[in-house]
Each structure stands twice: as C-alpha cells, then as structure tokens.
C-alpha cells in the first residue's frame, strides 16, 4: 500500500475550494474534489479515503452506494455526526476526526464567556455605546462551580484552563471516573439532574449522538440555579432551543452563551438575538487564525501513518460517536 498512491476524495461544502495546506497531497495520492451528493457519487467509486470538510453535509448518505472501495473517512471536525450514517455505522470503514485541533481555542472561548458574564461586559458595551457612566460591583469567578458536560478532549481543555483561573470544575461523562487529573470529579451522565443544581456555570462540550439529542430541555433548565449561566459549544441539537428560550424568559437561568444552534445560521427573527442576557457567536468558538492549515497538516500526518501501515490517530468509536479517552 505504501508504494501505491491511494485515491482520496475531498468533500467540501457547495462551491467551496479545496482547504489550504493540502499542497503536498497530489504528490502522495490521486486527489478528487466533490462538493455535493452528485459529484460525490461520481468520485467515490475507487476512492479508498474520504476527507470531509463540511460538518453539516448529507451528501455521504446519498452517495454511499458508490463507495465500493472506501476504507477510511476523516472528518475535519471534532463532531462526526454528519458522517456517522447508518451505512457507515454498519460498515467496517474507519472514521477519524480532528481531535486536538480546536481544544485550546474552545477552552479560551468558554473562559472568555464566563468572564464576560462575571464582569458584566455585555452591559459595559451597551453603556459605552450610550456614553453612560454607571458604576457597578461585579462577580469573581474564583471558587465558582463549573460543570462540564462532556469530559473528552475539549472538556478536559476547558477544565484545565478554568481551574487555572480558580474555578472548581466537575465533569459529566458516559461513565463516572474515580480519579481524573483534570476534573475534581467526573460523574455518570445518568446523574446529570443531581449535578446541575450545584453549578454556577454549565458548559455543553459533548458530541451529538442519539443519547445527547435534546439532553438539555425543560427539566434540566428547571434543575439549574436561577443564577447559573449556560454555555453551549458542543452541537446545537443537544439543546431544546424552545425550552432554553422559555428558561431565559422566565428567569429560570441567568444567561446563556451560545456558539451552536439547532438551526444554523440562526434566523434573524429568532428571539435569542434580542435577549440582553444572551451572548451569540456564529459557530466559531474553535476557529482560530490558521485552523484550516492545522487541519490539513493533521490529515497529512494521518495519511503518512496510513501509507506506512501504521495505526491511524483519532479513531472514532462509531458506537459511541467520539474518540474514546486515552
């Protein structure tokens, strides 16, 4: 396999060019480019590797019957829900992801959102725009309780950074852990309801799986402290948006910072836009300057492993929907 060039099909969003940083790829593989289901159906026959850069795509499900030689799918995202179709789950095709690329940037986003809430930065900006001087006392984050739902690589990075800022950080994972170097405690997901009332901040860092679909709905928001803030950097469908809007309107929780949504882009007339206790960003928490090139380097490194017959990095447990903890 090392002596022969494999065939790599790259699936981008519609009309999007190939990602930057893949210049060495044509010397190491036969490269094909697809940007929708029709072109993917054309290029999949004979392809051994599929590189997916569009984390919202449904093209793979539609083009799957043409995947006659596919052995490896690499997603340039942490979440792999778009590529874990029923056919992929039932196949022996290996799936890898971009674990490790976005962890630090997302952790910085989360800490920044926590500090914005604690220091009432949202109000400061509004007052500045009105040229209004209004002194207020603000909160400390040291000693506050942070609950991270999803204790994988991104959750760990969040935990490390927030603990360095003086916060007490608990985690929620598929299973409880007796000892963990990054979290004070890690609880099983079935105890989420018991952990929510203890938290000042709740962060969703879990992957989207059948088990996490609408994991946060009315009962979970009702269990949280009225003073708690909710942050979602995982996937939009993990949260029941209507239930979140009701919780915010009824002051069941104090605020939310949202980077992901059930519907993206968030419609311009959505009520979340007009809430002064909500921070909104456009699914960009992990997107730092140079992230596209970093993703390409990661894929090329993994391709070198493939061609050398060595184990791939970041292999997703398809049954769980994520890369298991080391």
Per-residue pLDDT at 325: 82
Handedness of CA 265, 269, 272, 274 (dihedral sign): positive
Judge whether 264 counts as a catalytic residue: yes
Per-residue pLDDT at 1: 42
Residue 32: phi, psi to the nearest 5? -125, 155
The structure tokens listed for 62 are 């539609």
Per-position pLDDT tens, the chain of length 326: 445 799 999 999 999 999 999 999 999 999 999 999 999 999 999 999 999 999 999 999 999 999 999 999 999 999 999 999 999 999 999 999 999 999 999 999 999 999 999 999 999 999 999 999 999 999 999 999 999 999 999 999 999 999 999 999 999 999 999 899 999 999 999 999 999 999 999 999 999 999 999 999 999 999 999 999 999 999 999 999 999 999 999 999 999 999 999 999 999 999 999 999 999 999 999 999 999 999 999 999 999 999 999 999 999 999 999 999 87
53 Cβ contact partners less than 8 Å away, ≥ 6 residues apart: 10, 11, 12, 13, 16, 19, 76, 295
Per-residue pLDDT at 3: 54
Judge whether 135 counts as a catalytic residue: no
Handedness of CA 52, 58, 59, 64 (dihedral sign): positive
Contact assessment for residue 93 and residue 70, using Cβ atoms and an 8 Å cutoff = yes
Sheet with 49-52, side-by-side order of all strands: 30-34, 7-11, 49-52, 72-75, 94-96
Judge whether 226 counts as a catalytic residue: no
- Taken in order of first residue, the domains within the chain and their CATH numbers are 7-101+289-308 (3.40.50.720), 103-280 (3.40.50.720)
Contact assessment for residue 208 and residue 81, using Cβ atoms and an 8 Å cutoff = yes
Contact assessment for residue 201 and residue 231, using Cβ atoms and an 8 Å cutoff = yes
Partnered with residue 145 across adjacent β-strands are 168
CA distance 134 to 267: 33
Exposure string (b/e) for 128-151, b if CB count within 10 Å is 16 or more? eeeeeeeeeeeeebeebbbbbbbb
Q: Per the residue annotation, which of 32, 74, 156, 235 is the catalytic one?
A: 235
3 state SS for the chain: CCCCCCEEEEECCCCCCCCCCCCCHHHHCEEEEECCHHHHHHHCCCCCEEEECCCCCCHHHHHHHHCCCCCEEEECCCCCCCCCCHHHHHCCCEEECCCCCCHHHHHHHHHHHHHHHHCCHHHHHHHHHCCCCCCCCCCCCCCCEEEEECCCHHHHHHHHHHHHCCCEEEEEECCCECCCCCCCEEEEHHHHHHHHHHCCEEEECCCCCCCCCCCECHHHHHHCCCCCEEEECCCHHHECHHHHHHHHHCCCCCEEEECCCCCCCCCCCCHHHHCCCEEECCCCCCCCCCHHHHHHHHHHHHHHHHHHCCCCCCECECCCCECCCC
Q: Per the residue annotation, which of 16, 263, 264, 310 is the catalytic one?
A: 264
């Amino acid at each position: 396999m090392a002596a022969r060039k494999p065939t790599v099909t790259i699936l981008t969003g519609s009309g999007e060019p190939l990602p930057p940083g893949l210049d060495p790829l044509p010397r190491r593989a036969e490269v094909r480019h697809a940007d929708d289901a029709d072109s993917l159906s054309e290029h999949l026959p004979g392809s051994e590797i599929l590189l997916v850069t569009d984390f919202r795509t449904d093209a793979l499900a539609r083009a799957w019957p043409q995947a006659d030689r596919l052995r490896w799918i690499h997603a340039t995202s942490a979440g792999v829900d778009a590529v874990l179709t029923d056919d992929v789950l039932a196949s022996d095709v290996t799936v890898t992801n971009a674990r490790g690329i976005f962890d630090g940037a997302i952790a910085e986003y989360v800490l920044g959102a926590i500090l914005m809430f604690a220091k009432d930065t949202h109000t400061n900006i509004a007052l500045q725009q009105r040229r209004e001087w209004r002194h207020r006392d603000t909160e400390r984050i040291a000693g506050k309780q942070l609950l991270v739902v999803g204790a994988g690589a991104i959750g760990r990075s969040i935990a490390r950074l927030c603990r360095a800022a003086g916060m007490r950080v608990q985690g929620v994972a598929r299973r409880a852990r007796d000892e963990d170097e990054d979290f004070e405690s890690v609880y099983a997901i079935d105890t989420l309801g018991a952990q929510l009332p203890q938290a000042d901040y709740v962060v969703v860092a879990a992957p989207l799986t059948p088990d996490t679909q609408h994991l946060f709905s009315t009962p979970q928001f009702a269990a949280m402290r009225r003073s708690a803030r909710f942050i979602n950097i995982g996937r939009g469908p993990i949260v029941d948006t209507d239930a979140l809007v009701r919780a915010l309107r009824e002051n069941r929780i104090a605020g939310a910072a949202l980077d992901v949504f059930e519907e993206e882009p968030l419609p311009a007339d959505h009520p979340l836009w007009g809430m002064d206790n909500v921070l909104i960003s456009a699914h960009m928490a992990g997107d730092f300057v140079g992230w596209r090139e970093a993703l390409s380097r990661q894929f090329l490194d993994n391709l070198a492993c493939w061609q050398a017959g060595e184990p791939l990095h970041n292999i997703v447990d398809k049954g769980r929907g994520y890369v298991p903890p080391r």
